[in-house]
Structure 1
């Protein structure tokens, strides 16, 4: 290894260790479930759990992953007493996993005082992270070896490829966490190096080389399922080598040794899955636990997820909710596009596809990228997995080909510039992670005299002892439109310790008392559980952001209420003060205004149903009702293309996420007088529906939805084919439009 390669490798180790130390425990992608799987093996004699859908476990779907990484981490940590893990794995019940919100709340766990150097679980997690760092270091080294095998005359390309892997912020983030991807990435890269050497050979491979390939492929099948996509490439490489040496015997021996070892090492896991789950991969139960998409994603849906896919290849931290600043992704994508352009120029100018042994080896690395990407598309069409980091099993060849393109386009100057950018981004990633979990600053004093106490809150067990005080400068008067955030800042002071964990709720209520929008979080931007807080006498500023629904009814005035409740029991902290009503403080008013539009319809909007029709507005009267009373809903439609099908409209008052329907209307538009096949271009169809709240409807806030469906007669009955909501980015959502909440009194 050259001196430059050694420097890159050492720099990687230093940065990966910094990522490991900077990322709070259990705040890396899926580490919240990966480490409990390690602990289960370490404390149960290395026996594997049996997965059961519907049964909550600390390791969730990770118990269905091939277990080799977990075995290695358990072997490294089994001697530690990790019984204090529940104190460290203190879950944030309101964590916004997969969402980036203005008031943060990105932490998946509460960072309690139990995270001290005397904690066995803490040391076990850090040792497991150390294992991941070591596996990542081997991947970086193997990236260099792969580059030297495929482009032996271009050491500069090898150095850049190594740097693109070593200093990829997301690779560093995953390498500094407890994650089985670190082992599968290493084994996939090692197999690519072995295949490159095999394809370049002019003679039959040695038994030692075949044993190495068989061992790596068997271990790979126990590391992650995606390594299975490499098995056909191994068979292809053996066949090409046998053809070159004109020896069928060489192929038979190679297949027997590599295939035999793969089966010997990995088959037991797949047989176990077959016996337990009726599926050798166990993916049926895995999907039952992790959750499937409501409908498989089509090409338009997958294309709409390209941005988060690229973000999570370069760096999307935490629980996919701690992003870089936008400009960093822009630069990464631009540099990748520039490198790809250089690669294409080189391909057309230098006859890239020559059929010699070296180019066959290079082609296999490209095929691996394509095969892995195709498998990921298939997987993410079934479940929500559009994360670029899942391509890390091919990060070495991806980095290599990008490095080659950059070198061909700009030579050493461009190569050094790209490497320097990656180092900068890697350091920026550390700062981004540190800032995301930074708690609010504490102060012994209010910032100025304009802040005044407007309410205090006490636990029910000690009603005469205020635990929290709420401060504001004035009553809030805010203006917003549907789909916007209502943001504001308040100051709190802890005045006494608390026994329970109290969640903050922010409700935006209309005059009927309907909760139009709400936000539920822990204090301290989600970082503090009140039972763990030790800030008595201290003040801190807390930001809140409440998102208004996409099609919230407007115009109307919404009152802002704040209170605290126990998530387990529903009890509230007892409020005291002039602003208090029903143990909640009134903070002010939000004037919800309709969107600006050229059309003269109430509550303007644009909900695209199946690229066929658009709901462009609606009106509801009244916004609250009793059992037996009428609700009038007027919908405003416009066609998006000529329609041959006569769709029917449904309007329902429902309890979300259930099958409970409390009021309903089904009819063709405009009381059966305007079938959709008769609509003209640009025409606005006024469609009025009357709903009656059914007997037995419980009091509460329920949701009004609307949509369209085609009714088809079949031999076995009627079929209802609903139009699905299409979002502006091409994604598909539900098969209905959520309009507004209504209160049943």
Structure 2
């Protein structure tokens, strides 16, 4: 369905806060995205520039509850609470998935209970056995344990980026604090992608470098003489010089002589299946993009490609034959009316 120009629409949803959500002020954001590419629409309002494809709609103040929540029946409850520091017990472990691939970002939730006042902020470490994944944080980041009261039950949530070189197999989660540690019954199964260290044959070889970590080794564009209203198929052959520290998205533009973008496709490489944070040095990754040409198009157009940091929306600089500082010119096509 399409919204007629000038028409308004109302979107109403009701959300329940999870038991144990720490008190504090939370910003509520929304975004609009393309269902075919999952790419968020860019926010044009100047006051919201730099909000990474989202716009703020409210500030929510969460208050301390009158009594600790009843967590009976909560998902991820341990067979029995685990004491990790004096007065600090781990009640539940709630990961957002049981299998993943290298480079993916996932969320891990822990449910805590205090038995006594915690005089100092207690650090915890979370790790994945048999891998390089390990980090130190607080039980509830932003709400220090020194503010907890005896009997409190609080939930911590942590974003985890899986290393590119993480080995395949089932790995156990571990949580530790002040010398005490527990190996949790939950495991994360790592499934490795098929990795290639030789390029796939493409019609055009290139040596375009994006930032310091990624090179475009070649591309194939079909058909060579597209008609107005048809679809272009662009195959890109990426090569990792190093593992990119940030997750990057590819954007492809078909641009008219006056600079107007008549067709565009944005996506994480390989149809969202190969995040760049999971690439290993020397690896090649094939990446296909479909671009729908408008029926009114006719004449000469440039095909440009670039990479953008998904977290900051900063485009990577291009070297080796650019159309501008942030986009590389692949070819010029003539669209038949």
State the TM-score, normalizing by the size of structure 1: 0.23
Per chain length, whose mean CA-contact separation is higher, i.e. which structure has more relative contact order (CA < 8 Å, sep 6+)?
Answer: 2
State the structure with more CA Rg: 1
More helix by share: 1
